A and B are shown apart, each in its own frame.
Chain A
Amino acid sequence: MSAQAPILAADKLAVRYGSFLALSDVTLAIKPNTIHSVIGPNGAGKTTLFHALTGRVQASSGRITLNGRDITHLSDDKRVPLGIARSFQVTSLFQNLTVRENLRLAAQGRTPLQALAPWRGVEPDGEATVIADQVMSRLGITAVADRVAGELSHGQQRRLEVGMAVAAKPRLILLDEPTSGMGIDDIEAMKALIRDLGRDHTVLFIEHNMGIVMNISDTVTVMRAGRVLVEGSPMVVRDDPEVRRAYLGNMMTGDIA
């Protein structure tokens, strides 16, 4: 396993917001077909790391490679066809479009140039539509397929948010706090989903729910103040005194859920 080349690698990555260094010297290697989680205190730079990896923000220094290819300077939309998709911590949907259309678009996004043809119609049984329907049933939101996303409750929106990433059928899927805002039973379902995704995708996810993190991750990276604090298996991380102090505390959350 250790001999396998990483699907995604970051080398000495740094991100600046103005004068504020949100991320510095982050080196990370995500092995294919693993479930890799990122945890750390609020403001540690986890989301920023995701932004940098997906191209939402440009790295101010360092290198990102996907399957050995340098993607550091590729814009975010150009990375999607290479097999990266993500969900957002702060829900970001097409509020005025239906759930189905949201997912159809997400599926279409892999081949965006096909959508650039102003004469090509939307086929009701086209690939993207089929994928959208699959994702809806996988996430249990088929019942609201024809509601516009903005009218869903918070938890339903969170689920759709994750669905948007799944619909792109990526090789590497990045989920930013997929269970936040979800009900107790849904958290279980999400855990199962992530585990399931881990079978044919590589999953990188941020989570504050330790029940999930510790149960299903192959590797856990702990961040603090823009840097990697510790990386290792859940067992290693759980027992690291520094991690306990800086982040886990008594692990009240997650033990129950």
Chain B
Amino acid sequence: MNRSSLHFILAAIVAVALPLFMRSGTLASEVLIYAMAASACNLLLGYTGLLSFGQGIFFGLGSYVVGLTLLHTPLPLGLAILFSIVIGALVATGVGWLSIRRQGVYFVMLTLAFSQFFYFLAYTFKDITGGDNGLLNIPRPDVGPLVLRSSWAYYAFIAIIFLLIFATLQRVASSTFGRTLLAIRDNEERARAIGFPVRTFKITAFAISGAVTGLAGALHALLIGVAPLSNIDYHMSESILIMTIIGGTGNLFASVLGAGFYVIVSDLLSTIWPRWLLLLGGLLVVVALFMQQGLWGLLERIILALRPASRTAAGKEPGRSPL
């Protein structure tokens, strides 16, 4: 079994197992939604080397687009979601096109500026977005015979989409395109010198990432029935990024782990102690200090330790291989 089908099976196990462990379909849905957003972020961070602080833009836009479509047009859910994907991709193309003109920290800051810019845009155009109150009353219509009203039914719907998206992103990552992204991440100058139009690749990566993130945002708005302003603010970008980093950037399943960990741990901690952010902060520090391959790296180490016999067979350098 190759690595990528192994990871897909792991992702499928997560999608099936979540309902067994979690009392709330809503929280489980949120895990998968953020897993999609984090995987999309990983495509930029882990594969292209782009640390984007703008993922919240696409997430928030996805929420608004699905909400506005369902509120103001008679179009079916499927089309509304499709619009979110398309707008996510389009805006990501624009943001990407502008941002990748700069590199390193300046790139990060540019995406941050965009994220603030879109936040204030959403804040200022309150007639469309509901401003600080958020876009309220977003319905969750049925899809043909599928009735999504109950939270577990909706979870099932999300789980199917999640697996589709995960498989698609995996395919993207292992394609020649994905391998080229890895090269660009490693040495952009050289990539250009051997003939790759680096900017086109980066923008394409952005568009794919934006599409998936827009989709995640749409599903989130449908989950809670609101497209709140907080879905497009800076903290959303930050959270998605942090999930991605703590998962590990080596492969896409790592992002699923990161999202699950972040969402579930935040939820748990916040019920224990109002000052739970202190604990979360400490956790982030610990991850950065001791788990630089992320949760995935930790998992790999545990598996290797449990199966000492197969140590050599499992690959020399765990976290390093692209998939």
Interface residues, chain A, with chain B CB atoms under 8 Å away: 54, 56, 75-78, 80-81, 85-86, 88, 92-97, 101, 105-106, 108-110, 112, 114-122, 148, 164, 168
Asked whether any CB of chain A lies closer than 8 Å to the CB of B191, the reply is yes
Binds A, one of B114-122, B123-131, B181-189, B285-293: B181-189
Binds A, one of B16-24, B83-91, B143-151, B197-205: B197-205
Return chain B residues, CB-CB under 8 Å to A110. 195
Interface pair B198/A77, CB less than 8 Å apart: yes
Which residue of B175, B196, B320 is within 8 Å of A120 (Cβ)?
Answer: B175
A66 CB to nearest chain B CB (Å)? 14
Give bound CA distance, A28 to B174, whole Å.
43
Assess A115 versus B194: contact at CB under 8 Å? Given A95-B187, A120-B177. no
Interface pair B183/A121, CB less than 8 Å apart: no
Interface pair B195/A92, CB less than 8 Å apart: no
Interface pair A105/B180, CB less than 8 Å apart: yes
Return chain B residues, CB-CB under 8 Å to A105. 179-180, 183, 191, 194, 196
Give bound CA distance, A81 to B189, whole Å.
17
Interface pair B182/A97, CB less than 8 Å apart: yes
Return chain A residues, CB-CB under 8 Å to B195. 77, 80-81, 109-110, 112, 168
Interface pair A108/B197, CB less than 8 Å apart: no
A62 CB to nearest chain B CB (Å)? 21
B113 CB to nearest chain A CB (Å)? 27
B85 CB to nearest chain A CB (Å)? 15
Interface pair B196/A109, CB less than 8 Å apart: yes
Return chain A residues, CB-CB under 8 Å to B192. 75-77
Give bound CA distance, A161 to B204, whole Å.
28
Asked whether any CB of chain A lies closer than 8 Å to the CB of B295, the reply is no
Interface pair B320/A168, CB less than 8 Å apart: no
Return chain A residues, CB-CB under 8 Å to B182. 94, 96-97
Closest to B172 in A: A118
Return chain A residues, CB-CB under 8 Å to B198. 77
19 contacts between A and B (CB under 8 A): A54-B193, A56-B193, A77-B195, A77-B196, A77-B198, A80-B193, A92-B187, A94-B183, A105-B183, A108-B180, A115-B179, A115-B180, A116-B201, A118-B177, A119-B175, A120-B175, A121-B174, A122-B175, A164-B190
Asked whether any CB of chain A lies closer than 8 Å to the CB of B73, the reply is no
Interface pair A118/B183, CB less than 8 Å apart: no
Return chain A residues, CB-CB under 8 Å to B271. none
Give bound CA distance, A116 to B172, whole Å.
10
Return chain B residues, CB-CB under 8 Å to A114. 176
A84 CB to nearest chain B CB (Å)? 9
Give bound CA distance, A109 to B193, whole Å.
9
A57 CB to nearest chain B CB (Å)? 12
Give bound CA distance, A168 to B174, whole Å.
22
Return chain A residues, CB-CB under 8 Å to B200. 116
Closest to B198 in A: A77
Asked whether any CB of chain A lies closer than 8 Å to the CB of B235, the reply is no
A13 CB to nearest chain B CB (Å)? 19
A160 CB to nearest chain B CB (Å)? 11
B321 CB to nearest chain A CB (Å)? 9
Closest to A82 in B: B195
Closest to B197 in A: A77
Asked whether any CB of chain A lies closer than 8 Å to the CB of B311, the reply is no
Closest to B196 in A: A112
Closest to A164 in B: B194
Return chain B residues, CB-CB under 8 Å to A97. 182-183, 186
Given contacts A96-B320, A115-B179, A116-B180, 15 further A-B contacts (CB under 8 A): A75-B192, A75-B197, A92-B193, A94-B187, A94-B191, A96-B182, A105-B183, A108-B180, A114-B176, A115-B177, A116-B200, A118-B208, A119-B171, A119-B175, A121-B174
Asked whether any CB of chain A lies closer than 8 Å to the CB of B62, the reply is no
Asked whether any CB of chain A lies closer than 8 Å to the CB of B210, the reply is no
Asked whether any CB of chain A lies closer than 8 Å to the CB of B178, the reply is yes
Return chain B residues, CB-CB under 8 Å to A122. 174-176, 179
Give bound CA distance, A112 to B191, whole Å.
10
Interface pair A92/B320, CB less than 8 Å apart: no
Return chain B residues, CB-CB under 8 Å to A77. 192-193, 195-198
Which residue of A78, A101, A164 is within 8 Å of B179 (Cβ)?
Answer: A101
Give bound CA distance, A109 to B197, whole Å.
9
Give bound CA distance, A75 to B191, whole Å.
13
Which residue of B174, B180, B189, B208 is within 8 Å of A92 (Cβ)?
Answer: B189
A77 CB to nearest chain B CB (Å)? 5
B299 CB to nearest chain A CB (Å)? 21
Closest to A102 in B: B183
Give the contacts of B134-180 with A (CB-CB under 8 A).
171-172, 174-180
Closest to B194 in A: A109
Give bound CA distance, A120 to B190, whole Å.
22
Closest to A84 in B: B195
Give bound CA distance, A68 to B74, whole Å.
60
A114 CB to nearest chain B CB (Å)? 7
Return chain B residues, CB-CB under 8 Å to A168. 194-195
